[in-house]
Structure 1
Amino acid sequence: MPATVQKPSVPVLPETGFLRLADVLKIVPVCRTAWYNGVKSGLFPKPVALGKRARGYRAEDLRALIDRLNAGEEA
């Protein structure tokens, strides 16, 4: 019986590139409303336009946010 390999439940944050909001919320455990309120207040990074209706978040900005949170600083 072959061993099953489980995929990680949290997406890997790439070094560069963009993530859509659904992937961001898997990495940063807040609800959608809290995320949008954080973006509006400047606590979380703003999205970048990827197309006419598509928005994404820079991996570098998310990595900086995670580093600040891990350092115990306010987002």
Structure 2
Amino acid sequence: MKLIRIKEVMNRTGLARSTVYKYISENNFPKPIKLGSRAVAWVESEIEDWINDIIHQRDSETASPQMVNR
């Protein structure tokens, strides 16, 4: 198990720091682990799972595209 810090989370997800914490407060993102009084990190596999979940959601939504008449 590997822990990653906020900069790596931001690089992997493309999210801003404020968005990461907003999603956490909405229970839409993995919660960090407290490392010390002022340091947190995320479990790498949980971030990877979150990314895979949003890819799966996207693919599920576009799995049956509608025909458009031109």
> Gaps spanning 5+ residues in structure 2: where?
59-70
Find 1:69's aligned residue among 31, 37, 54. 54
Identical-pair percentage: 22
> Gaps spanning 5+ residues in structure 1: where?
1-15
Residue 52, structure 1, aligned to residue 37, structure 2: yes
RMSD: 1.2
**Match of 2:57, SS?**
coil
**TM-score, length basis structure 2:** 0.74
* Count of aligned pairs between the two proteins: 58
Q: Which runs of 4+ in 1 moved over 6 A?
A: none
Post-superposition Cα deviations, 1:25-71, rounded to whole Å, max 9, x if no partner, equal 00101111111100110101110011232100001211110110110
Aligned to 2:65: none
**TM-score, length basis structure 1:** 0.70
Which protein has the larger Cα radius of gyration, Structure 1 or Structure 2?
2
Aligned to 2:68: none
